Chain A
């Protein structure tokens, strides 16, 4: 069981920046707010892990060294972690591992990405196409939405999930985002709006897709002994799991199922000493509306995930509230920051001090789920409330 405490955290708004600020500004804002939230000083930080998906987006190689310098941190251990869409979450795991191994006492994990403002959307889309097998997929011009669409078609056929289910998720996550001051798309929409939005790749329409966002998020990780008050009241990372799947969708036995998530989930549960039934809140990687259902299915959070969706299990007042932040669909998706923000949301929910829509009664365990590719590289964390 991990004894790593999420001592504090902060994030910038996720959106398309139009205020002239840049990623260095966002990283500083998230970092210093997180340090303050952890009731620490910047000089207390002895390691930095930076998450950023692509140098093509940031136009900055060796970003860990640059961000450390920007934060005024010198003589510390610094590294960059990358794993596609899971970059931020994997960076949290890397930071936690440093604490667990005794290699650092207080680690700042900074995720950032200028996914929206640096490049035209078409250029970002073309680069995302290289997130899969660049030699067989990306260079045909296939994009992320098309690969997810092919995957979810199989899921629909096997489970009976329909576009109405996806629209309900697209609506609900945007509605959840309306309580989140940092959300990119806090939209007051209805299922009819989703159905009326343009088709991007059948069955997905524009409102089924998460946006490209700018932003940064930071969490401070430490052992209890590294915190002034022993981390009293703060959530801890109880379990972590990572598992990959075959990169090429067609090589998977069941292209519609996110099976590697189940592997990562079992590892995280085993480390936490918890069961799936004890998870009372989840932040799920909803890069697309249908992907949320595929993820919940892969994680094993419901035996009949489509039935559970229709029964309201994943609604804010359901048995397992999902994506109260708005998820990627509502909160947004600056890739390197996404997983960091998911872990932060889980921690703050467990502590009863989340800045957006709060769960009615903080549960004991919350789950963060992130992936790169079409659930190719999967990261799961289980956070536990302080007792």
Chain B
């Protein structure tokens, strides 16, 4: 049998709505724990370091260094460290043909959630 299912989701973003709003502008909005100051990006509603439940929003520069990357037929992905964040984040590389070791958060294509990084030279300044 053949059956075609087309789904069109609308997903409320809840407490992370400010993060996604910023992301759609290409801006990095992190969560900072009011108890231990750990900064998570992408943000966590509960601190990953101390379990604190009070978080403040904190703007990051959006710049990140590439720690690891892997290239596939359909693009490239990387573990990166955003300046000011305590952990690493997984990103899709917006310009996978480039090989620079740093980049800046990019506006997601088609307003999708998720993190895209535009690779650029570390001394480039587009701020």
Contacts and interface: CB of A to CB of B under 8 A. Distances in A.
A287 interface: no
Contact of A251 (B3, B72, B88, B91): B88
A202 B90 contact: no
Contacts of A165: none
Interface stretch (A130-138, A273-281, A315-323, A354-362): A130-138
B3 A246 contact: no
Interface string A146-157: 110110011000
Contacts of B91: 140
A140 B115 contact: yes
Contact of A59 (B3, B42, B68): B3
Nearest to B80: A250
Contacts of B75: 141
Contacts of A141: 74-75, 92, 114
A153 B70 contact: yes
Interface string B87-115: 11111100000000000000010001111
Nearest to B43: A136
B92 A202 contact: no
A46 to B, nearest CB: 33
A137 to B, nearest CB: 5
Interface of A: 59, 133, 135-143, 145-147, 149-150, 153-154, 199-202, 246, 248-251, 255
Interface of B: 3, 5, 16, 40, 42, 44, 48, 68-75, 77-80, 87-92, 108, 112-116
11 contacts: A136-B89, A136-B90, A139-B114, A140-B112, A141-B74, A141-B114, A142-B77, A143-B74, A251-B44, A251-B48, A255-B88
